[in-house]
Structures are given as structure tokens and as C-alpha cells.
Amino acid sequence: MYNVQCTKYEVTKDKGQRTMNEKIENKEQLAWLWVPTLYFAEGVPYFLVNQISVAMFTTLGVANDSMAFFTSLIYLPWVIKPFWAPFVDLIKTKRIWIISMEALIAITMILTLISIPHPEPEAILTMTTPVKLFYLTLIWFVIMAFASATHDIAADGFYMLALSPKRQAEMIGWRSVFYRLSNVFCNSALVAIPGIVVTKGYQMTTGWQVTMAVAAVIYILITIWHFFTAPKPIDDRPATNTSAKEIARGFIDAFYTFFSKKGIVLALCFMLLYRLPEAFLVKMEAPFLLGSADQGGMDMPLQTYGVVYGVIGVCFLLLGGILGGRYISRVGLKRSLWWMAAAITLPDLAFVYLSVCRPTNIALIASAIAIEQMGYGFGFTAYMMYLVFFSEGEYKTTHYALCTGFMALSMMLPGMAAGKLQLMLGYRKFFVFVIACCTLTLIVTYFVRRQVDEDYGRSTK
């Protein structure tokens, strides 16, 4: 009798477990409802703050030195986000953080729309619009940047909590695709809107206000969508058993072990210098392409810029990244480093060509940008793989977060100085200076290769 009861209990237990597993699987099938929009939402404010702001300030007449300094400075939240990441675990749930940050980002988009000034047409033409007119706009951009960086932390954590490892692996490619689609959307559709509005007889400021309005409406819809579609995982709860003091102590220990790692000085040099040429170049690409011929620019309309840089450029950037990942998996990180260092530096010659020859053929201009972007995408893959390599060991997650902080710093500091350097040198000499910086990339690559294991990153298949 006892055995029969036990058997019945076990059958009931197995049925219950199967039912629970089926429910989990059904919920995970709904990941298609929220994963793509979550990572699209992650990308939009990032590209809005770090790239569209450059185009906006340039077309409204802010000088390159002020534009580059302030738009690079608002990159700071992504540099320092590892320092408040532990507290996102401690306070509320990841789901609440995601939805509240999306709501805050939508609000700051509306406030940015209202705050965009109306410079005098003459100031825009002569690039003498005082940056002080944009101080309130910059404040909203800064708040948007902090909200976006916090959203990144919560989104990545929520992704791991809401999906099983198997489902995470299935969705990770699509998560990357939709993040990159946000890049295409921002640098093509949103950038083109002001140009279209201007052709209808309105001011450039009105065009950028329409751009921010479109972004805000999209973000409001995404926030509402996630409120209804984002699941409520059982494990998504604040770390009530862990005090803030304990989290801080753990982070300090992770911080200490990071800076105690063997080869840390060389690793930091690599993180800060490998992308140095691109860090200078990326801040001046939009001003050069959009700037008037009198000031050394290519005088490209915003709609054309949106297609050439925002669609063609980004597509080739993605292609370079895909090829880079496949190449590393085939030969390993160590053997690929030289080729990737060459790929991230030599194509910068495309901008030397554009500034010297000044072609008017759009196909030639688009080809030059495509080559530069593809090279950057290919070479950047080695950089990201090295961050993973250096983060291996205890506190891997925190160490990787610190690496990405230095990655952001490597773009912020050169970007702050890029505008002043360009005004001192002019576009042609500035791009030659960028090529000269490539030597530092090659030097740190030479030394860091010695640290990397022979087969690291190579597929075993």
C-alpha cells in the first residue's frame, strides 16, 4: 500500500514538474515579443546621445571644438556605469528598472525637443552659434545618457533572468540584430528628418524638433509595449538577503583583483589606445561630411548623409563585425590580431582621400565610407574579444564591466579634444594626424599579442 501511494505521489510530482516546464517553455516562446524591442530600445538613446547629437550641433552652427567636447563629455555615464551597477541588483526588480528608465528617456526626449534653441541663420552659416544656447539641451542629454546606461544594466540582467541558457543562446543573435537596427534607424531615418523638413521651407531647428518628437513617440510606445509584454520572472527580485554594504565590499574586492591582474598596465594601454585613431575620426566624420565646402567639408545634404553613413556605412560595419567574428573563430585571437589592427587603422586613409581629392560622385564617397566602416567593424571584433579574454577568472562579470568602462573612456577622452585639433589643423591635416595615431595601435597590438593564449577564441569544431 505504501509503495502504491509513493508511486502515485511520484507520478503526480512528475506531472507537476512537466506542467511547470511546459509553462516555462511557453513563456520563453514569448521572448519574440520583448527581446527585439528591448534591444532596439537599448540602442536608440545611445545613438541619439552619442551620434545624432553631433549632427544636430553641427547643422545648428556650433563650432567643432565646442561640439566635440560637450558631445564627448555626455559619454561619461557609459564610462562610470560599472560603479552603480551593483545597486540595480539591490533596489527593485530589473523589470521595474527597465520600464521606469524607458519612461524617463521618453520624458527627456520631449524636454530636449522643447529646449532646442533657434540660432540666427547667419550664425549657423558661419558656425559661430554659441554653445551656451544649448546648455539646457545638454542637461537633458546627460539625464537621458544616465537613464540609458542604467537601462543597459537592467536589460542585460533581465535577459539572463527571464530566459534559460538555451533560449538565451537562441535569441542572442537577434538581440544583436535589433540593437544594430536601432543604429540604422537613428543614423538614417532620424537624421534625414531635419533635411526633409528644411526642404519644405521650415527652419533646421524645427527639423530637429520633429526628429525628437518621432523618437519620443516611438519610445513611449515601446515603454507601453514592455509594460504589457515583458514577463515577470520568479528570480527577478531585489537582493534582499544582501546588504548594500556587502555588495560594496564585493565590488571593492573585484575592483582590487582587476587592478592586481598580471599585465594590467599593458592591458589598459591596449584598451585606451587600440581605437585611438577611430576615437578622433568618429567625432569629426559628421562635421566633415555635413560641413560647407568653404569650411573644408563635403557639403552633403542630411538626407544623403542618412543614406550614405546611416545605411550603407552601418551595413558595412555589421558585415565587418560578422566577418571578424568568423575569422577569430577560425584562427584564434592571437593570429588574427595583426590583421585586425591593420583593418581598424589603414581604411582611415579613406578620409584622407576624401579631404584631398574632394570627389563629388556620391558612389565614390559612399565606397570610401563603406571601406572605412567595414575595416572598423572587422578590427573592432578583436578588441571586444580581448576584453573577454582579459576578464576571465573570478569576478568575470564585474571585470568585463570595468573593461567596457575603459572602452568608453578610450572614446570619450580623444573625442573631447578632436574638435580643437581639427580647428587647429584643418580637415586634411587632421585626417593625416589620425593616420599617424595608427602607429600607437600597432605598437600596443605588438606587445599585447604576447599575453594571448595561442588557441584562445578558436572554434574546436
Quote the CA–CA distance of 265 and 212 in Å, as a whole number: 42
Cell numbers placing 40: 532596439
Quote the CA–CA distance of 151 and 88 in Å, as a whole number: 10
Quote the CA–CA distance of 68 and 414 in Å, as a whole number: 9
**Going residue by residue through the chain (461 aa), what tens digit of pLDDT does each one get?**
545 555 554 555 555 545 444 444 455 667 888 999 999 999 999 999 999 999 999 999 999 999 999 999 999 999 998 888 777 877 888 999 999 999 999 999 999 999 999 999 999 999 999 999 999 999 999 999 999 999 988 888 888 888 887 777 677 667 878 888 899 899 999 999 999 999 999 999 999 999 999 999 999 999 999 999 999 888 888 766 666 677 777 778 888 888 999 899 999 999 999 999 999 999 999 999 999 888 889 999 999 999 999 899 989 998 998 898 889 888 888 999 999 999 999 999 999 999 999 999 999 999 999 999 999 999 998 898 898 888 877 777 778 888 888 999 999 999 999 999 999 999 999 999 999 999 999 999 999 988 888 778 776 65
CA dist 279 to 72, 158, 245, 268, Å? 10, 31, 37, 16
The helix/strand/coil state of 62 is: strand
Cell numbers placing 235: 528570480
Which sign does the torsion angle of CA 162, 166, 167, 172 carry?
A: positive
pLDDT at 241 (0 to 100): 63
Q: Which residues pair with 129 in a beta bridge?
A: 62
In degrees and rounded to multiples of 5, residue 274 shows phi and psi of: -60, -40
Quote the CA–CA distance of 58 and 303 in Å, as a whole number: 15
CA dist 256 to 223, 399, 404, Å? 38, 10, 17
- Is 268 in contact with 390 (CB distance < 8 Å)? no
- Is 319 in contact with 378 (CB distance < 8 Å)? no
Start-to-end Cα distance in the chain: 54
pTM metric for this prediction? 0.85
Quote the CA–CA distance of 384 and 194 in Å, as a whole number: 34
CB neighbour list of residue 392: distance below 8 Å, 6 or more residues apart:
none
DSSP state of 84: T
The helix/strand/coil state of 129 is: strand
Which sign does the torsion angle of CA 331, 335, 337, 339 carry?
A: negative
CA dist 60 to 57, 125, 126, 142, 180, Å? 5, 9, 10, 19, 27
The helix/strand/coil state of 119 is: coil
- Is 312 in contact with 366 (CB distance < 8 Å)? yes
- Is 434 in contact with 348 (CB distance < 8 Å)? yes
Provide the Cα torsion 297, 299, 303, 307; round to 10°.
Answer: -50
pLDDT at 398 (0 to 100): 77
Quote the CA–CA distance of 275 and 376 in Å, as a whole number: 9
> Which position has the grid cell 543614406?
307
Q: What is the DSSP string of 341-401?
A: HHHHHGGGHHHHHHHHH----HHHHHHHHHHHHHHHHHHHHHHHHHHHHHH-STTHHHHHH
CA dist 240 to 81, 93, 233, Å? 22, 11, 16
Quote the CA–CA distance of 35 and 58 in Å, as a whole number: 34
CB neighbour list of residue 456: distance below 8 Å, 6 or more residues apart:
332, 333, 334, 389
> Which position has the grid cell 567643432?
64
Cell numbers placing 119: 540660432
Q: Which residues pair with 62 in a beta bridge?
A: 129
Q: Is 262 left (phi over 0), alpha (psi -120 to 50) or beta?
A: beta
